[in-house]
Amino acid sequence: MDNLVDQDTQSQSENTTEARDQNEATRKVFIKTYGCQMNVYDSDRMNDALSNDGYVKTETPDDADLVILNTCHIREKAAEKVYSELGRIRKLKEERAKDGKQMMVSVAGCVAQAEGAEISRRAPIVDLVVGPQSYHRLPELLTRASNGSKVVETEFDIQDKFKHLATPSKEAVRKRGVTAFVTVQEGCDKFCTFCVVPYTRGAEVSRKVEQIVMETERLAAAGVREVTLLGQNVNAWHGEGPDGREWGLGELLFRLAKIDGIERLRYTTSHPRDMEDSLIAAHRDLDILMPYLHLPVQSGSDAILKAMNRKHTRDDYFRLIDRIREARDDIALSGDFIVGFPGETDQDHKDTLDLIKRVTYGSAFSFKYSPRPGTPGATLEDQIDEQVKSERLAELQVLLSTQQKDFNASLIGKTIDVLFEKEGRREGQLAGRSPWLQPVHVNAPLDLYGEIGSVEIVAASANSLEGRLV
């Protein structure tokens, strides 16, 4: 997945059921989530399944009966970070054992899928290794592991896991907030030479329209006002519609826009090869679809794009951007960039800088290339020196940061709609998101939580906006 949440996020699990037996001690679960938005969604789904099985959340692993590390394999040395965390968990497990208490440990997510049984070998404290395609079976797998067996479940399940997902209660949804993620597509068939996703998430799979609509309707009924559709290549989604026909993402967005209570729609992450006419039309015709598009290009050099197996050129990307901006002139673009891919020359780097200057981005994510075991890029010759990568990344990030600051500053004096999502950092303040996803801080009454208010932007920083309620 191209777009990342650049920090670890803790579990947002909720206790949605009464204990099955009031005399039985409550079991506590702690989930630590790494990486992308899809992992956040997956952690919530695991929490829902465990809540139905009698677990309640805890904010710390110290008193947890079950610890789950929901991992991401995109970052450099991702597996080593997991083993380091498991070293800390091991000490907690040993302390609990001294007190006669059990702690089960599970590694889930993409590192689990990539490493498999190697995790249990290197970290014997791990009771369960479970890949992203099997988390709907978590209670069953934990029962097997509780008998003392080391369970490794990393097969790509042929059954539709979304049919078996636990349904969260309204209370659980409300506590998670007025925005929500809905996974509509998983896996990837693109096989970019730098990426592990096809190997950890499998082939592209699209959920049916009926499943997506039902989940979104439940979220709306519980107070969710903004939904972000997720997929490794979300605009590659082609799900079966209620008419038996295969729908595209644009058609799905038009359907979701009809759901009462949903006032904002977003989607991420997209691939330039999958921006169909109907999706561009959705940006033109749906006010509910926010004018912000994450459309990673990765490089501005045709030679590097070919080496990455992106199967589009820089000119293809330029033409696509022109069509999108013609459909929605207030749209802001976000992107991903990798510097120092094997064989990248100084001219290739300059071509990327030139592309950024021509497109202009409201925000972006940028990284130094780091080889992923098992990917074609890891075996390519002419790997780039780390010092060169660092210098190129610094130059690129200065340009992107300047564009982001300029875009934020361009909103000063304008009145925009803000969805208030939580209390702000100061008393009497609410925080929300602009249509372009920037955080916005406003002095406003707490009863506006969950509402969309008109806000005049009075100040802007590199990463957020300040406004006053109109």
Cα four-point dihedral sign 277, 227, 265, 331: negative
CA atoms within 13 A on the CB side of 462: 7
DSSP 23-79: TSPPEEEEEEE-SSHHHHHHHHHHHHHHHHTTEEE-SSGGG-SEEEEEE-SSSTTHH
Which residues, 6 or more positions from 37, have their beta carbon under 8 angstroms from its beta carbon? 3, 5, 181, 228, 230, 268
CA distance 380 to 383: 7
The reply, when asked if residue 351 is annotated as ligand binding, is no
Question: Is residue 110 marked as binding?
Answer: yes
Q: How far apart are CA 444 and CA 307, in angstroms?
A: 51
The pairing of strands 363-368 and 27-33 is: unpaired
Beta bridge partners of 336: 365
**C-beta neighbour count of 94 within 10 angstroms:** 11
Task: Determine the Cα–Cα distance for residues 374 and 379; give it in Å rounded to an integer.
Answer: 9
Q: Is 335 annotated as a binding residue?
A: no
Who's near 99: CB < 8 A, 6+ residues apart?
none
Q: Using N-to-C axis directions, what is the helix angle for 346-359 and 314-327, rounded to 10°?
A: 10
Stated as kind and residue range, the H or E segment containing 174 is helix 170-176
64 is an annotated ligand-binding site residue: no
Binding-site positions for [4Fe-4S] cluster read 36, 72, 110, 188, 192, 195
Known binding residues = 36, 72, 110, 188, 192, 195
